[in-house]
């Protein structure tokens, strides 16, 4: 918790720092593409088909006019500057882009923003804040459920959705009796989280973090 509070008081965020260093690097080499380095929402290029969509992201409504090709992931990151959600493989294989849409965890890279008019989207920024961590966020910190941290927002959003699925009695591939209400054993947890890859291999600590929250009954 102490470390989280420290992070909260940093004068600039990591992304702002990275953008600043990227801009200065470009100045040093070639001309700067103002649009590319800007943190303002990207406008669709003239002549490209667009679609309008209103999304409620972390409780706040946003109406966006987007190039139809914009995935939900790119809408969150590039248009709403919610960069907690990560782009890993961009093909639904790694789970880094997992967000919760209308109560369900999905891969935000494999769906178009335009397919979700009126949807309620929860990202890692909406689950908790540095001062008020979601129990899963606190448990990942406590159990060191990451190394580089890139997969972590997806792991945490996925775990939140997964625990909800268990509460709803949704079975999994390793559920022994389809007629019974599933319980969250280690085998169940591993199977249900198989859509989230951690290249650092922090799996054992991720399992411990999620297990603690599951046993505490809050997520």
Q: Report the site for other proteins in 120-149 (rule: CB under 8 A).
A: none
What are the two backbone dihedrals, phi and then psi, of residue 64, each rounded to the nearest 5 degrees?
-120, 140
Rounded Cα distance between 113 and 98, Å, is 14
Tracing tokens 């992304």 back to the chain, one arrives at 15
Of the ranges 17-25, 102-110, 123-131, 206-214, which one interacts with other proteins (CB under 8 A)?
102-110
Site map (CB under 8 A) of other proteins, residues 169-188, x = contact:
xxxxx-x--xx---------
Q: For other proteins, which is the closer residue by CB, 69 or 142? A: 69
Phi-psi region of 147 (alpha: psi -120 to 50; beta: other; left: phi over 0): alpha
SS3 label, residue 141: helix
CB 75 within 8 A of CB 66: yes
Site map (CB under 8 A) of other proteins, residues 47-86, x = contact:
-xx-x---------------xxx-x---------------
SS3 label, residue 67: strand
Kindly state the smallest distance separating residue 96's Cβ from other proteins, in Å. Answer: 11
Distance of CA 137 to the CA centre of its chain: 12
Which tokens go with 175?
A: 């559920």
Rounded Cα distance between 163 and 41, Å, is 34
Q: For other proteins, which is the closer residue by CB, 71 or 152? A: 71
**Residue 164 binds other proteins, judged by CB under 8 A:** no
**Residue 158 binds other proteins, judged by CB under 8 A:** yes
**Residue 9 binds other proteins, judged by CB under 8 A:** no
* DSSP single-letter state for residue 94: S
Q: Which parts of this chain interact with other proteins (CB under 8 A)?
A: 48-49, 51, 67-69, 71, 90-92, 95, 98, 104-107, 110-112, 114-115, 117, 158, 161-162, 165, 168-173, 175, 178-179, 190-196
């Amino acid at each position: 918790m102490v470390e989280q509070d420290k992070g909260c008081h940093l004068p600039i965020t990591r992304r702002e720092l990275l953008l600043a260093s990227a801009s200065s690097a470009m100045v040093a080499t070639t001309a700067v593409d103002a649009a590319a380095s800007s943190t303002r929402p990207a406008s669709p290029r003239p002549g490209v088909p667009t679609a309008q969509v209103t999304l409620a992201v972390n409780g706040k409504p946003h109406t966006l006019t987007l190039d139809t090709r914009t995935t939900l992931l790119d809408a969150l990151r590039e248009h709403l500057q919610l960069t907690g959600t990560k782009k890993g493989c961009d093909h639904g294989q790694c789970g880094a882009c997992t967000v919760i849409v209308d109560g369900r965890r999905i891969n935000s890279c494999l769906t178009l923003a335009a397919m979700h008019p009126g949807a309620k989207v929860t990202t890692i920024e909406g689950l908790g804040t540095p001062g008020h961590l979601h129990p899963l966020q606190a448990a990942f910190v406590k159990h060191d459920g990451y190394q580089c941290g890139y997969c972590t927002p997806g792991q945490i959003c996925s775990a939140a959705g997964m625990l909800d699925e268990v509460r709803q009695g949704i079975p999994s591939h390793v559920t022994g009796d389809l007629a019974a209400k599933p319980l969250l054993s280690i085998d169940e947890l591993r199977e249900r989280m198989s859509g989230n890859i951690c290249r650092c291999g922090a799996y054992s600590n991720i399992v411990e973090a999620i297990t603690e929250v599951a046993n505490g009954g809050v997520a």
